[in-house]
Chain A
Amino acid sequence: MRTRALLLWLLAALVYLALARIAELDLHRLVVGLPKMGGWVLRAWPPDFTEFPLLLKRAGETIAMATLGSTFGAILAAPLCILAARNVSPDGWIYWPARSLLNLLRGIDSFVFALLFVVAVGLGPFAGVIGIALHSAGTIAKLWSETIETSEPGPLEAAAMTAASRVKLIGFAILPDALPSLASIALYTWEFNLRSSTVLGLVGAGGIGQELKNAVDLLDFPRVAAILLVIVAMVTAIDQLSARLRRALL
């Protein structure tokens, strides 16, 4: 038993060593580079808020991207989650294709979707909205379908005795009890999307991330500091709002 445990530890150590090699971990480079970064931090103080209105505008773009993307994602997720929930899916044959579509949408990050859609719709927040919407549709639909699958079967069966249509059964017997959880999932995704959409600017999808990239490229550290402070304030405010809404729903 002891030998087996030792072997397992050894195996784990080898795996991590291999991973570190692949990821090019290099402590020496970190030790040498950290003081340089410290110098940047010192040069970043005081933060440069001379273009504060522009930063607010860009933060607004980010909030708009995350909010619209999450909302469109939730709208797309509504029919998908029904098809992908075993207990309410109209037929067996639709369940697996629906599930596969969700995995595909979830598997591609909003960042990658945005990168692809910049080609189609050009630079700016619109590509970001599409990216967030598609990725969120997969995430929200998967979590919603799992919530629906774990809902109590009794009320659904009782309602089914009336011979009502599937849409009525779901609307009457599942949604009222599941709605707080479904809304909570959508709000959590919104919070998550707000954080992730701050980096969408890196692929030209607009928002505060675009300003951050420009400032870093120009080594304008006081401006970087101001942008980071705006991001932290924005994310904290939205997190608080979302947490309050979720508490109110439950």
Chain B
Amino acid sequence: MIRARGVAKSLAGRAVLRDASVSVAAGEVVALVGPSGSGKTTLLRCLARLLEPDAGNIELHGLDITHLAGRKLYRARREIGLVYQQFNLVRRLNALENVLGGRLAEIPTWRVLTRRWPKDEIERAQAALARVGLATHASQRADRLSGGQQQRVAIARALAQGSRVLLIDEPVSSLDPETAASILRLIRELASERGFAVLVTLHRPEDVARVADRALKLQDGVLLDAPRIERSAASSFPVGA
């Protein structure tokens, strides 16, 4: 699980986060909502320790990681799978190699540099790709995949990394409704099946209703409970999605 308590962060002199507290348990999907520029991405980056919080603390599986540095911080980060809005795939590598990117720490340097991947790592990456429904696209270059497929590759990379916490930044904002629904369903399934703790930033209330157990609204740098979600009413995914 991941927890933030009283996190504050200012960027360029503006207080983006004032007193943000959130806790996501294993198997839970929490949606983070709020207008553009409200600090949702900043909060995710603070949780992943890619940004240093000005105040507050962050716990990962019960361990305070707020002040970790060096190797200890790197090790803690491996527990966090960050899925970006822009996917952040290596464009000229194929889908399988991008998923293998989640395993870089375990693969010898010479194999990474020569791209001669170990067989067991290839199998693991293939399994991750299969889980996100892209088994047949393994050899396709990342920049030739659709937006939805690239998002799936990014999720598969987080799966291969072996993280138990997923921080997902606006996964459906640039996708058509059908693809968006399929991505949200995948996120929901991963949380339920594998016990991932998922914090996902979303815009549309219907998306929140589909995927999240609860939602938090980021307003003026503070996280507030969003109106209760009636998942039973809105959680059905379109047929074929």
Please, how many residues of chain A have a CB less than 8 angstroms from a CB on the other chain? 21
Closest Cβ–Cβ distance, residue A230 to chain B (whole Å):
40
CB-based nearest A residue for B100: A172
Contact of A176 among B71, B86, B90, B104 (CB under 8 A): B90
| A50, CB-defined interface residue at 8 Å | no
Knowing A154-B84, A171-B112 are in contact, say whether A162-B102 is a contact too (CB < 8 A): yes
Q: Is the CB of B90 within 8 A of A155?
A: yes
Q: Are A167 and B82 in contact (CB under 8 A)?
A: no
Which residues of the partner chain A approach B103 to less than 8 Å between Cβ atoms?
A: 162
**Is the Cβ of B75 less than 8 Å from the Cβ of A167?**
no
Interface size class of B (residues with CB under 8 A): 20 to 34
Task: Report the bound CA distance from A112 to B229 in whole Å.
Answer: 75
A-B contacts, CB under 8 A, total: 73
Whether A163 contacts B105 by the Cβ 8 Å rule is yes
CA of A106 to CA of B92, assembled, Å: 31
Q: In the bound complex, what is the Cα–Cα distance between A158 and B103 (angstroms)?
A: 12
Question: Would you list which residues of chain B between 97 and 138 have a CB under 8 Å from chain A?
Answer: 101-105, 107, 109, 112-113
Query: A176 to B81, Cβ gap below 8 A?
Result: no
Contact B109 A165 (CB under 8 A): yes
| Contact (A161, B92) CB under 8 Å given A168-B109, A169-B104, A171-B112 | no
27 residue pairs bridging A and B, Cβ less than 8 Å apart: A152-B88, A154-B88, A155-B89, A155-B101, A158-B82, A161-B48, A161-B77, A161-B78, A161-B80, A162-B78, A162-B101, A162-B102, A163-B71, A163-B77, A163-B105, A165-B109, A168-B113, A169-B104, A172-B104, A172-B112, A173-B90, A176-B90, A176-B91, A176-B92, A176-B93, A177-B91, A177-B92
Going nearest first, the 4 A-B pairs with the smallest beta carbon separation are A154-B88, A164-B104, A163-B74, A158-B88
